[in-house]
């Protein structure tokens, strides 16, 4: 008898990263339960799989427990953009804490392996640059980003305590800024903001002087890293990100050059606690997972821009 396909639960599966992961697992012939409360996720993102015998969609909020039979839990449910996670910060903290506790409880009960989508935000506004996994971070516990940053920090803590206390198999990915097709036009993160503004012929909004840096990873590279982490032996935390570091102004210049070089920039105040710099050290991912990103920013921007053009119906 052929081995039965792996049963995957993808929480946040209708979101940006989650829907790309769902595609990858479905294309590999696995079973997928996609769970989402549609706060920032959209059914359109996974519409192509609805009705497929290996696919099931569950409307559920991870802050409530759920009983399912699965082998792998990919725990991504959590808003990731500052405007969305700050919209209801108490709910965001609950989603990280209660949501992760519920998913770890499920993993324990059914003997599943759980991968947590943690974040580079656990490093806060880092005093160490670039950031290795050994850096313990500099997070303002009571600032406006804390609901997300501290939420993910306690989610990591829960994972390692469930591993130590109950023997749950865990994998923790520290994901750095990721971009690609399917980001929401009103997502509020920088790549989608700049692309939407440029396609609409509006000025690109630099917060502060745009001198702060980020390192942008294309979503296909991230998904490859997550799959290798889940199927590998190292529990993490492991940084998954692209070490190519850019100022926000450089990003704006790249997007403008690709869409409309005559557009102006405009500045807006830098949000509170906005990290000054961020760049992953990915030595651990290289040695433990044999992973590194393959898609440079300019190339990834091209396909992201094409996707936004199609969705916004802007002629090339
Ligand atoms: P996203 O907002 O597009 O997706 C999050 C998904 O989770 C959405 O579908 C949303 O509806 C769902 N969700 C939110 N709260 C929920 C709840 N309480 N119950 C059930 N579903 C819920 O964000 P994304 O960029 O796809 O991020 C996915 C994961 O990766 C998040 O955990 C995020 O923290 C992490 N991450 C993303 C990035 C990035 O740059 N994209 C960076 C670091 C970490
Ligand atoms: N940013 C910007 N203009 C925008 C949106 C964001 O200059 O329209 C800046 C933001 O201040 C931050 C960086 O871009 O310094 C990345 O912001 P994003 O929200 O994408 O991610 P995060 O701050 O969570 O890394």
Closest atom of ligand 2 relative to the 206 alpha carbon: 7
pLDDT at 180 over 80: yes
Beta-bridged to residue 267, according to DSSP, are 206
Non-local (6+) Cβ contacts of 88 within 8 A are none
Q: Residues 44, 183: contact at Cβ < 8 Å?
A: no
| 207 among known catalytic residues | no
Measured in angstroms, how far is the CA atom of residue 91 from the centroid of ligand 2?
A: 22
Question: To test the ligand 2 pocket, which listed residue (214, 216, 267, 279) has its Cβ within 8 A of the most ligand atoms?
Answer: 214
Closest atom of ligand 1 relative to the 94 alpha carbon: 18
Question: To test the ligand 2 pocket, which listed residue (85, 87, 123, 189) has its Cβ within 8 A of the most ligand atoms?
Answer: 189
Model confidence, pTM:
0.98
**CA–CA separation, 15 vs 20, rounded Å?**
9
pLDDT tens digits, 250-301: 999 999 999 999 999 999 999 999 999 999 999 999 999 999 999 999 999 9
Task: Write down the catalytic residue from 148, 162, 179, 218.
Answer: 148
**What's the mean per-residue pLDDT of the chain?**
97
Q: According to DSSP H, which parts of the chain are helical?
A: 16-27, 82-85, 89-110, 146-166, 190-199, 219-231, 248-259, 283-284, 297-312
pLDDT tens digits, 45-92: 999 999 999 999 999 999 999 999 999 999 999 999 999 999 999 999
Closest residue CA from atom 22 of ligand 1? 77
Q: Is the CB of 193 under 6 A from ligand 2?
A: yes
Span 127-132, average pLDDT: 97
Measured in angstroms, how far is the CA atom of residue 144 from the centroid of ligand 2?
A: 14
- At residue 3, the pLDDT reads 76
Span 99-109, average pLDDT: 98
Closest residue CA from atom 15 of ligand 1? 78
Closest residue CA from atom 1 of ligand 2? 190
Residue 313 banded pLDDT, cuts 50, 70, 90: confident
Map residue 215 onto helix, strand or coil: strand
- At residue 314, the pLDDT reads 65
Closest atom of ligand 2 relative to the 194 alpha carbon: 8
Closest atom of ligand 2 relative to the 204 alpha carbon: 8
Measured in angstroms, how far is the CA atom of residue 189 from the centroid of ligand 2?
A: 6
Map residue 95 onto helix, strand or coil: helix
Q: Is the CB of 12 under 6 A from ligand 1?
A: yes
Beta-bridged to residue 178, according to DSSP, are 217
pLDDT at 184 over 60: yes
**CA–CA separation, 248 vs 254, rounded Å?**
10
Q: Which CATH superfamily is domain 7-312 in?
A: NAD(P)-binding Rossmann-like Domain (3.40.50.720)
Residue whose C-alpha is closest to residue 265's, from 206, 193, 198, 190: 206
Span 147-173, average pLDDT: 98
pLDDT at 16 over 60: yes
Closest residue CA from atom 21 of ligand 2? 189
pLDDT > 70: percent of the chain? 98
Span 7-20, average pLDDT: 98
Question: To test the ligand 1 pocket, which listed residue (9, 14, 17) has its Cβ within 8 A of the most ligand atoms?
Answer: 17
Beta-strand pair 170-175/113-119 = parallel
Locate the domains of the chain by residue range.
7-312
Q: Is the CB of 77 under 6 A from ligand 1?
A: yes
Span 18-26, average pLDDT: 98
Q: Is the CB of 191 under 6 A from ligand 1?
A: no
């Amino acid at each position: 008898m052929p081995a039965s396909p792996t049963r995957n639960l993808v929480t946040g599966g209708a979101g940006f990263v989650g829907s790309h992961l769902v595609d990858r697992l479905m294309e590999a012939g696995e079973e997928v339960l996609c769970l989402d409360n549609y706060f920032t996720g959209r059914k359109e993102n996974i519409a192509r799989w609805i009705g497929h015998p290996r696919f099931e969609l569950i409307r559920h909020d991870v802050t409530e427990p759920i009983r399912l039979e699965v082998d792998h839990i990919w725990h991504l449910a959590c808003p990731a953009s500052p405007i969305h996670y700050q919209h209801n910060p108490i709910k965001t903290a609950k989603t990280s804490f209660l949501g992760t506790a519920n998913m770890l409880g499920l993993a324990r009960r059914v003997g599943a392996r759980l991968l947590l989508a943690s974040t580079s935000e656990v490093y806060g506004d880092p005093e160490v640059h670039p950031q290795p996994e050994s850096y313990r971070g500099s997070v303002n516990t009571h600032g406006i980003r804390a609901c997300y940053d501290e939420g993910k920090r306690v989610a990591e803590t829960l994972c390692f305590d469930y591993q130590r206390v109950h023997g749950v198999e865990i994998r923790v990915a520290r994901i750095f800024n990721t971009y690609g097709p399917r980001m929401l036009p009103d997502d509020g993160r920088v790549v989608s903001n700049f692309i939407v503004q440029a396609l609409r012929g509006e000025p690109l909004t630099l917060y502060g002087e745009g001198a702060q840096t980020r390192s942008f990873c294309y979503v296909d590279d991230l998904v490859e890293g997550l799959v290798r982490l889940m199927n590998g032996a190292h529990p993490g935390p492991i940084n998954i990100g692209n070490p190519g570091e850019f100022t926000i102004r450089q990003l704006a210049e790249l997007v403008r050059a690709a869409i409309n070089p005559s557009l102006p920039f405009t500045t807006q105040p830098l949000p509170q606690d906005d990290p000054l710099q961020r760049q992953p050290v990915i030595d651990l991912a290289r040695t433990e997972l044999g992973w590194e990103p393959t898609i440079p920013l300019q190339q990834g921007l091209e396909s992201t821009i094409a996707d936004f053009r199609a969705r916004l119906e802007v002629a090339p």
